[in-house]
Amino acid sequence: MQRRSFLIGAAAMLGLGQTARADIVKVRIGVGGKPLLYYLPLTIAERKGFFKEEGIEAEINDFGGGARSLQALIGGSVDIVTGAYEHTLRMQAKGQDVRAVCELGRLPAIVIGVRKDLADTVKTVADLKGRKIGVTAPGSSTALTAQFAMIKAGLKASDAPLIGIGGGAGAIAAMKKGEIDAVSHLDPVVAKLEADGDIKVLVDTRTDEGTRLLFGGPNPAAVVYTKQDWIERHAAGTQKVVNAFAKALKWLAAASPEEIADLVPPAYHFGDRALYVQAVKNSAPTYSRTGIPSRDGMNSVLDLVRTLDPELQGAQIDLAKTFEDRFVKRAME
Residue 110 — very low, low, confident or very high, per pLDDT cuts 50/70/90?
Answer: very high
176 domain-assigned: yes
184 domain-assigned: yes
For residue 143, give every residue at least 6 positions away whose Cβ sits within 8 Å of its Cβ, in sequence order, or none: 67, 135, 136, 137, 162, 184
**208-215 helix and 295-308 helix, angle to the nearest 10 degrees:** 40
| One-character DSSP codes across 151-210 | HHTT--TTSS-EEE--SSHHHHHHHHTTS-SEEEE-TTHHHHHHHTT-EEEEEETTSHHH
**141-152 helix and 208-215 helix, angle to the nearest 10 degrees:** 60
Q: Is the domain of 84 the same as that of 224?
A: yes
Q: Is the domain of 50 the same as that of 128?
A: no
pLDDT tens figures, 201-229: 999 999 999 999 999 988 999 999 999 99
pLDDT exceeds cutoff 80 at 241: yes
How far is the C-alpha of 39 from the C-alpha of 104, rounded, in Å? 8
Q: Is the domain of 313 the same as that of 235?
A: yes
pLDDT tens figures, 135-192: 999 988 899 999 999 999 999 999 999 999 998 889 999 999 999 999 999 999 999 9
Structural domain boundaries enclosing 148:
111-204
The residue among 139, 172, 204 that closes a domain is 204
- Is 152 within 8 Å of 144 (Cβ atoms)? no
Helix (H) or strand (E) holding 57: strand 56-62
For residue 105, give every residue at least 6 positions away whose Cβ sits within 8 Å of its Cβ, in sequence order, or none: 38, 220, 221, 222, 223, 286, 287, 288
212 domain-assigned: no
Q: Is the domain of 96 the same as that of 224?
A: yes
- Is 320 within 8 Å of 77 (Cβ atoms)? no
- Is 98 within 8 Å of 91 (Cβ atoms)? yes
Residue 10 — very low, low, confident or very high, per pLDDT cuts 50/70/90?
Answer: very low
213 domain-assigned: no
Q: Is the domain of 98 the same as that of 226?
A: yes
Phi, psi of 56 (to 5 degrees): -105, 125
β partners of residue 58: 27
pLDDT tens figures, 244-300: 999 999 999 999 999 999 999 999 999 999 999 999 999 999 999 999 999 999 999
312 domain-assigned: yes
Q: Can you give the pLDDT at residue 22?
A: 53
Q: What is the CA radius of gyration of the chain?
A: 21
Q: Is the domain of 98 the same as that of 162?
A: no
